[in-house]
Amino acid sequence: MRSTRPTIAFLILACLSPAACRTAPPAARSLPITQGTNEPREIHYGFLFSGNRAGSAASRVEADGTRVYTFEFNDRGRGPSTTSRYKLDAKGLPIFVETTGNDYWKNPVDEKFTWENGRASWKSSSEKEDREVREPAFFLSLSGPPQEMMLLARALLAAPDHRLPLLPTGEARIEEVTSQPVQVAGHTRTVHLYALSGLGFSPAYLWLDESRELFAWVTGWAVVFREGWVDAVPQLTKAQDAAEKARYRDLATKLAHHPQGGLAIRHARLFDPETRTVRPDTTVIVSGNRIQAVGKDGEVTVPPGVEVVDARGKMLLPGLWDMHVHLDEEQGLFNLACGVTTVRDLANDVDQLLDMRRRWDSGEGIGPRVLMAGFMDGPGPYAGPTKVLVSTEKEALDWVDRYAKLGYVQIKLYSSLDPKLVPAIAKRTHELGLRLSGHIPNGMSAEQAVRAGYDEIQHANFLILNFLDPKIDTRTPARFSEVAKHAAELDLDSPRVKDFIALLKEHGTVSDPTLGAFEGMFIGEAGKVDPSLAEVADRLPPQVQRSLYGGGLNPPEDQKQRYRDSYRTMENLVKALHDAGVTIVAGTDGQAGFNLHRELELYVDSGIPAPETLRIATLGAARVMKRDQDLGSIAPGKLADMVLVDGDPAARISDIRRVVLTIKDGNTYDPNAIWATLGVKPVR
């Protein structure tokens, strides 16, 4: 479900998956547009999503110098389709920008910017401002196309010190990272990789050709490439990967502290998830990556030479778990800064994920422990972002076998999978000792999935859909909109709902509700901050803050209360599941770290007590994944994964946001040092 800003930010925040498509060799239409030309020319681009063709872009210059950019892609029925018109001044700065079309959620886009006679004005569905601007600055759109980053890069390269103020706020910088010759079908070009800073949490990377025209944008699951040059994408990806890994390797060296001689945490208020109680005045001794002793202050000997952390007035908890992520390098930093020491990745590129986990485990990179779920879907227009698309039982079982051999612990199924394949997949998965979970395939009900062998269901909307019209095409965004429209009508005390909950309990089926992923989608409004990130919005970089005001599904005014009521029904359902003894795991499918804190707040808001919520996010998760012998609580012999919090989240769950120290595998991390690298302000 990935809660990311569409178009530009959607690309910046996506996860890596190199492409494997082919097109015709470079054609004449791929010649670059030179700035200032009056001759209309066009450049065409392809768009890959997890290696599959999913969209396109085009650039042209009209006779009067106006630049026209189109961009569209399809992500399981979602995705933007926009046309943007730009006029530039002599310095390459926008003086007129107009973007129309629709955004990622199919909401209308009508964004406009003008700058003349020293006054700049702009408006969109979430912004409206007019002010005097005399100094050079670059307006960055909310719904602009990838080509806008090319215009920004050009302006920065021409600017003094390669930096410029941004409108409405912030500053951007640029540096060249490397150059790379590429060859396809006998045609050779040298392209240049630039890093643009100031747009988000980490640099955005952009490939330009010799004329500083956009050549490629490799941003994780999404890739924009010059038409005819798709065969160069793997080479560009490899070069960009090397640059990014070098950056994160340097960060790991700076941010990870390896206590010499061991670690002692004294005077802590220790949260015990087994008893859901707090033990005051506690000392914990760590040697290497294991906990050696836990006991009352003064009763536990502190060995000489160890580093001592004075935890007086603070609470020490087991490291938090996020049970629904789709990782990238940046998220490794967010998780550790927020006290998340173990995650479960529920869909990612196989090779990239294995490499990232290896580097995080070895200390070459920086991130939490990773448990992996192998993702698969069926082919079709709404197929998920994966290369693992199966149509037959043999194809499906072959992938189950491969995932098991690679060390995956779970299989995740998706919405376009043929329901007839589920029983065979479940049988093989369980024979190999793996868990089975996922979306509910279109044409199947949640009840049928449980009976067919599901161990867990991702997302609370699929639980609601069990009671709605079975003809709803759940491959499409209708799986969100129909729930938003009708969940409020569901009687949670009805025999049908109670029987279903009893079925989940009987089969031991776990729920991964991802409430936070629906909060902004159902009740977020254009012009108002995303409620799932409202608590941290003022700490985020300026351009990220702007992206939080776009709204979610943005229903008509007369439907807004219905959507809010439907969201409350989701919360109430999670509480009903918990009360009935159904196991809940805390997952986000959104912004790493911050969204887990919000997910826990939402559980408490639903009526689950804070101590029980903390157990869900620690020992409960470890037990579901059969890792509780090593993780999930603070006890002698267990791995040293802990988080120190300035507050009492067992009484006030929001105090979980006040992380002052994260310990993973016996190494310590200062959250404020991590936040500084991400452009995030420290916790107040």
**Same domain for 301 and 199:** no
Examine the fold and report which residue of 608, 643, 671 is the final residue of a domain before the chain moves on. 608
327 with 373: CB under 8 angstroms? no
| pLDDT tens, position by position, 295-354 | 999 999 999 999 999 999 999 999 999 999 999 999 999 999 999 999 999 999 999 999
- Among 116, 195, 190, smallest CA distance to 157 is for 195
**Same domain for 303 and 350:** yes
- Residue 134 within a domain: yes
Please, what's the largest Cα pairwise distance for the chain? 83
- Residue 391 within a domain: no
217 with 198: CB under 8 angstroms? no
Q: Within a 13 Å sphere around the CA of 558, how many CA atoms are in the beta-carbon half?
A: 0
**Same domain for 123 and 79:** yes
Helix (H, G, I), strand (E, B) or coil at 320: strand
Residue spans of the chain under pLDDT 50: 1-40
What does the radius of gyration of the chain's CA atoms come to, in whole angstroms?
25
- Among 286, 371, 307, 305, smallest CA distance to 637 is for 286
**Same domain for 474 and 587:** yes
**Same domain for 210 and 263:** no
Q: Can you list the positions of beta strands (E) in 247-318?
A: 263-272, 277-287, 290-296, 307-310, 315-318
35 with 210: CB under 8 angstroms? no
**Same domain for 550 and 674:** no
**Same domain for 229 and 324:** no
- Residue 429 within a domain: no
**In the prediction, which pLDDT does 52 show?**
87
Examine the fold and report which residue of 227, 254, 281 is the final residue of a domain before the chain moves on. 254
| pLDDT tens, position by position, 436-487 | 999 999 999 999 999 999 999 999 999 999 999 999 999 999 999 999 999 9
CA torsion 669-672-676-680 (nearest 10°) is 120
**Same domain for 618 and 576:** no
- Among 136, 77, 68, 85, smallest CA distance to 106 is for 77
CATH number, position 315:
2.30.40.10
**Same domain for 576 and 482:** yes
- Residue 645 within a domain: yes
Give, in degrees to the nearest 5, the angle at Cα 257 between 254 and 258. 130
Examine the fold and report which residue of 224, 254, 284 is the final residue of a domain before the chain moves on. 254
**In the prediction, which pLDDT does 41 show?**
80
Torsional sign, CA 160, 161, 167, 168: negative
Tell me how many domains the chain contains: 3
- Among 158, 190, 195, smallest CA distance to 173 is for 195
Global pTM reads 0.92
Instruction: Determine the Cα–Cα distance for residues 149 and 432; give it in Å rounded to an integer.
Output: 47
**Same domain for 589 and 624:** no
Torsional sign, CA 176, 179, 184, 188: positive
Instruction: Determine the Cα–Cα distance for residues 19 and 9; give it in Å rounded to an integer.
Output: 20
**In the prediction, which pLDDT does 32 show?**
37
Helix (H, G, I), strand (E, B) or coil at 540: coil
- Residue 663 within a domain: yes
**Same domain for 581 and 461:** yes
Using CB atoms within 10 A of its CB, is residue 312 exposed (0-12), middle (13-18) or buried (19+)?
exposed
Amino acid type, 671: P
- Residue 285 within a domain: yes
- Among 595, 1, 684, 516, smallest CA distance to 338 is for 595
Q: How far is CA 649 from CA 359, 439, 657, in A?
A: 32, 32, 9
- Among 365, 392, 367, 364, smallest CA distance to 378 is for 392
**In the prediction, which pLDDT does 50 show?**
83
Q: What is the DSSP letter of 120?
A: E
Residue numbers of the domain that contains 673: 259-375+609-684
Average pLDDT, the chain: 93
Instruction: Determine the Cα–Cα distance for residues 28 and 620; give it in Å rounded to an integer.
Output: 60
Six-digit token string for 295: 């006991």
460 with 439: CB under 8 angstroms? no
- Residue 513 within a domain: yes
**Same domain for 134 and 179:** yes
Amino acid type, 442: N
> Looking up tokens 């302006």, which residue turns up?
155
- Residue 299 within a domain: yes
